[in-house]
Each structure stands twice: as structure tokens, then as C-alpha cells.
Amino acid sequence: MTVAVAILMKDPTDAKSRLNSALGDDARERLALLLFENTLRFFLRVHAGKPIGVVTSSGRVGMLATQQGATVIADRPGGDINAAATYAVDWANGIGAASLLIIHADIPTLVDDELSCLLRAGERRSVIIGASRDGGTNAMLLTPPDAIPFHYGSGSARSHQSAARKLGRSCERLLLPHLSRDIDTPNDLAAHLASGAARPPAPGSVTAFAVAGVPEIEAGDDIGRLIADALSRIGVSLHRHDIVVVAQKVVSKSEGRLFAEAAFHPSERALELAEAIGKNPGKVEAILSESSEVLRARRQPPDGLLITRHRHGWICANAGIDESNLGDGREGILLLLPEDPDASARAIRASLETRFGDPIGVIVSDTFGRPWRNGLVNIAIGVAGVPALVDWAGRQDAYGRDLKATLPAFADEVAAATGLLMPKDAGLPVVVIRGLDWTDTPTASARDVLRPLDQELFR
């Protein structure tokens, strides 16, 4: 019996609209493409040599399908899913397929055993419905391909069962553990990101997951409580020695560190610098108010370069002051670093440990540039429990030689890794790292990484 597989794939620029509140446009498009490519690769492997079609109106998706050897089934731009499924039926009938498996391209985990279960069920029933957990239809195996008309939409699993019953078709509905989970909503995304997070990683391995569902932060919010609530909504708890990395931006927002640029009245020094480098005088005054020293000032796009030593000791552009991702209606608003990032981390830690037990580590991270290198990475500007530095002096390397001056910046390394799960347009300000070996260090401070001024070589 020839089973044709048809993957239904929207244009990625229009896909995942229900994730607007959790992901930016670029992130939603990338997610849709990743899910599609994962689905296509799966069927190219398990269904090798058999007909595989992709129903899409997207030229980009069509090109990817063609390159992999799948057939492109043209869909109308902006067409609905029922029409797309009908095009798949026409294709399957046209190639003489006895059965048609229609599947969505947004199922993150596809498992061989579940596909086998679906196909075995198809040997005894005309219509097999792979239902989603919300009552929709994630997959459907039809024998013949035009066994029933399509009723995709809310509650479609029941609608498809009713359609089969009316036509006298035998029907079976399956709720398979992985096939039933798609990614349509922020809660779906959160559940997938945390999948596997409920259990400890295997010995010697590390897992990381972003915590979706953290709401827009306002001044006075308890960050620890909001993180705990978001974890609870996706059924995940924190474990002993988990490290929670929180983006500085949400910490600063919770501490009311938002200020109108117009509130900073330029000093003579600010006016001189603003004139020299082409930056707004109010912003320059804000930078000076947060800095202990100006190290470099230069006129260059987009609005001048000003490198300072922040009063906490960090050397960074614009004293770490930010203007992006502050929320709607906040033009002309500046976001300053927390007053004391270590204290911020300790407060979040205390809140999380009250809910989940201890020890749990917390890092407040921010995105910094680096001397002599292009690009940005996350670094730790506040820590609680997590050591900023780990001194390896006196230990031995892999070959038994004594180490004399090895000082890993542990917290910075952790923060940098979480940057991979915090895209700028994703709205994911919290990441959990699980499985690292670290020693609870109550006296640790992110400032432990700062080199003493008398040891700076480039002054």
C-alpha cells in the first residue's frame, strides 16, 4: 500500500501569529522554518523513497523542499488550511497513492514509534486522527486520500470524527505523547522549551531552557515570584544547584530605573562631549551620572562613541544605558543599570529559594562588547551564590601538571551561554542552566572579576 505524506506549511512570514506576544517577527519566522525543516528531515528519513509533498505558497519553503527531493504542492497565498489539505488530496490521487498522511509542520518532536502506531492503526481503519492536546488535528491518515472532507479549526478532531461517521468510514482517534504537542501559543512554546527540564540531566551533561511566559515587568514587581509563577504554568520546578540567569533589562525595570532623557540637565562637561561626538546632551549627562571616568569619546555613527567606567567598575559603552525593548510608548526613555546588581541577584535568589528550596544560583546578565573583537556577549553583572571566579591554582590539568594561574570566569561563561537562548526579539529574559558543578559562595560578587586599576595595562 502506497502512503503519500503531505506536510502543510504556511509562508513562514505569516506563520505562528499567535506567538506575537512571546516572539518578534524574525524569531517567529525562524521558528516556523526550523520546525518545518525538522518535519521534512524526519519524513525523508523514515519515508525514504516514498512520495513526500509539501503544500505551501512560500517560494522559500518550496526551494527547501525541492532541494531535499520533496514535491512542492502549490497553495494559494493566504489560503486556509482546509484548502491546503484538499490540494494534498488532489496530489495523492494524482500519483495513485492508496493512503494520505497529512501532517502539520509545527510538531517539534516526531518519533518513529508514534508514526508506526499511526500507520498500524491505518491498516484497520479508514480515518486515523492524530489529535492535539487542545482538540485539534495534528496529523490525519486517510484511506483513500479523499475519505472525508476537511474541518480544520477549533475542535477539529471531533469534527473529523463526525465527518467520518456521517460517511460510514471507520475512524480511530489517537492522542500520542509527542504527536499531540504542537507549538501554536506561548504556553506551547514554554512547554516545549522546558521539555525534559523536569528531570535532572544525565551525569556529565548540562541542560538549558528559556522560561517563556514571564510578563512585561513594571516597577515594584517581584522578579523571583514572576519567574516561579511562569515555571509553575509549564509544570517545571527548579532543582538544587540550578542557575537562573535573568536579563538586566527586566531587573532594572522592576527597580524603576527608567528615566526620561529630558530629566537629565546637561552640565558643561556633557555639552562639550555631546558637541564633540554628536550625541544628545541629555543622554551624555545620564551617562556621566552613572560613570566614574570617561575612557574614550569619538564621533562615529550612529550617535557617537562614549566608553566609560561605570561607577560599579564595568567598562562599557554608554555606561550600560539602554533604549531598546523598553515597551510601547517609551521613546525618549533611558534604562539604567540596577543600583546594585549583586543585591538584585540576592533578592531574586531569596524569592526563588523560598519557593523551590536551596541552593539556587542567580546571575543578572547584560550584553557587552569586547575590546579588539566585534560582536556582543552576555556577561554577569550581578551574582548570588554563584562564584564569579573559580581559582584553579594548585589543581592539576588533564596531564597531571600543576596549574599556577588559571582563573575561569565562571559566571561570565554561564551568562554567555544563555545569550544563545535570549534572542533580542524573543521576549525571553530568563534562562535556567541545569547540571553544572558549582560551590555555593554567599560572599561572591560579580565585581570579583574586575582587574585592580594598578594592574590595568591599557590606561
Q: What does the pLDDT look like over 132-180, one tens digit per residue? A: 988 999 999 999 999 999 999 889 999 999 999 999 999 999 988 889 8
DSSP code of 334?
Answer: E
Please check whether residue 305 is in contact with residue 277, taking contact to mean a CB–CB distance below 8 angstroms.
yes
CA separation for the pair 329, 355 (Å, rounded):
34
Q: Who has greater pLDDT, 407 or 91?
A: 91
CATH of domain 3-174: 3.90.550.10
Question: How many other β-carbons are positioned within 10 Å of the β-carbon of residue 375?
Answer: 6
In the prediction, which pLDDT does 248 show? 94
Please check whether residue 72 is in contact with residue 91, taking contact to mean a CB–CB distance below 8 angstroms.
no
To the nearest 10°, the Cα dihedral for 436, 439, 442, 444? -80
Closest to 249 (Cα-Cα) out of 76, 366, 161, 331: 366
In the prediction, which pLDDT does 325 show? 60
237-241 contact pairs (CB < 8 A, 24+): 237/198, 237/356, 238/352, 238/355, 238/356, 238/357, 238/360, 238/432, 239/200, 239/356, 239/434, 240/357, 240/358, 240/359, 240/360, 241/359, 241/360, 241/361, 241/434, 241/436, 241/437, 241/438
Strand partners, 4: 100
In the prediction, which pLDDT does 453 show? 82
In the prediction, which pLDDT does 40 show? 92
Q: How many CA atoms lie within 13 A of 271 on its CB side?
A: 4
Does position 427 have pLDDT exceeding 90, yes or no? Answer: no
In the prediction, which pLDDT does 305 show? 87
Q: What is the pLDDT of residues 302-344, one digit of tens each?
A: 888 899 999 998 888 888 888 766 666 677 788 999 999 999 9
Mean of all residue pLDDT scores within the chain: 87
Provide the strand spans (E) within 280-413: 291-298, 305-310, 315-317, 333-335, 361-370, 373-384
* H helix or E strand, kind and range, residue 275: helix 268-277
Looking at domain 186-255+339-459, its CATH architecture is 2-Layer Sandwich (3.30)
Report residue 287's pLDDT band, with 50, 70 and 90 as the boundaries. Answer: very high
What percentage of the chain exceeds 90 in pLDDT? 50
Please check whether residue 296 is in contact with residue 306, taking contact to mean a CB–CB distance below 8 angstroms.
yes
Report residue 183's pLDDT band, with 50, 70 and 90 as the boundaries. Answer: confident
Whose cell is 536579563? That residue is 247
- Classify residue 392 as exposed, middle or buried by CB count within 10 Å of its CB (0-12, 13-18, 19+): middle
- Which range has the worst mean pLDDT, 54-68, 202-216, 317-331, 427-441? 317-331
In the prediction, which pLDDT does 34 show? 86
Distance of CA 298 to the CA centre of its chain: 35
- Which range has the worst mean pLDDT, 31-45, 51-65, 317-331, 420-434? 317-331
Q: Where does residue 244 fall: left (phi above 0), alpha (psi -120 to 50 degrees), or beta otherwise? A: beta
In the prediction, which pLDDT does 230 show? 85
The domain defined by 258-336 carries CATH number 3.40.1530.20: no
In the prediction, which pLDDT does 329 show? 62
**What DSSP letter does each residue of 31-77 carry, written as one string?**
HHHHHHHHHHHHHHHHTTTS-EEEEES-HHHHHHHHHTTPEEEE--T
Please check whether residue 249 is in contact with residue 381, taking contact to mean a CB–CB distance below 8 angstroms.
no
Average pLDDT of 66-76?
A: 92
Sequence spans of domains, the chain: 3-174, 186-255+339-459, 258-336
pTM of the predicted protein model: 0.63
- Which range has the worst mean pLDDT, 4-8, 212-216, 269-273, 443-447? 212-216
Q: Where does residue 391 fall: left (phi above 0), alpha (psi -120 to 50 degrees), or beta otherwise? A: beta
* Phi, psi angles (nearest 5°) of residue 448: -60, -20
Let me know how long the chain is. 459
In the prediction, which pLDDT does 405 show? 57
In the prediction, which pLDDT does 261 show? 87
In the prediction, which pLDDT does 352 show? 94
CA separation for the pair 219, 27 (Å, rounded):
27
| H runs (alpha helix) in 278-380 | 281-289, 341-356
Render the burial of 323-345: b for 16+ CB within 10 Å, e for the rest.
eebbeeeeeebbbbbbeebbebb
Does position 263 have pLDDT exceeding 60, yes or no? Answer: yes
CA separation for the pair 381, 271 (Å, rounded):
29
Q: How many CA atoms lie within 13 A of 260 on its CB side?
A: 4
Q: Where does residue 182 fall: left (phi above 0), alpha (psi -120 to 50 degrees), or beta otherwise? A: beta
CA separation for the pair 12, 125 (Å, rounded):
34
In the prediction, which pLDDT does 425 show? 62
Please check whether residue 411 is in contact with residue 365, taking contact to mean a CB–CB distance below 8 angstroms.
no
- Classify residue 296 as exposed, middle or buried by CB count within 10 Å of its CB (0-12, 13-18, 19+): exposed
Question: How many other β-carbons are positioned within 10 Å of the β-carbon of residue 28?
Answer: 23
Report residue 380's pLDDT band, with 50, 70 and 90 as the boundaries. Answer: very high
Please check whether residue 173 is in contact with residue 129, taking contact to mean a CB–CB distance below 8 angstroms.
yes
Average pLDDT of 430-459?
A: 86
